[in-house]
Amino acid sequence: MSIPADLKYTRSHEWVRAEADGTVTIGITEHAQELLGDLVFIELPAVGRVLAAAQEAAVVESVKAAADVYAPLAGTVVGANQAVVDAPETVNQDAYAGWLFRMRPAAAGDLDALLDATAYQEIVEAA
């Protein structure tokens, strides 16, 4: 299973990538998509929506289950990936390329509080 070292992670299986413009890109981890199975529907947050950390932001549904995707930190949604709405299976093909939404964090330092790859790996292995 792939857990890229350059990303941050949450206990609820979201990955977060810091972008050069100060925004963050968010998706679900490879582990999460493996647990869900074949994705058939994705609902993303509206651009402009203000989210609190750990607030439900999106929904991913598979043939087995539906799961909420949580905002990893507080901020404003600045982008949503329509391509994964149109073709949810792209997240199964590459969870780290099939991002879900982008946010502008309310506080840049919040990113530092997220898990690094090693800490996330320990959570996955303990499950």
Burial of 95 (0-12, 13-18, 19+ CB in 10 A): buried
Distance CA 116, CA 4 (A): 9
- pLDDT given at position 73: 97
Q: How confident is the model at residue 1 (pLDDT cuts 50, 70, 90)?
A: confident
Q: What is the pTM of this model?
A: 0.96
pLDDT tens digit string along 51-102? 999 999 999 999 989 999 999 999 999 999 999 999 999 999 999 999 999 9
- pLDDT given at position 108: 80
Helix (H) or strand (E) holding 36: helix 30-36
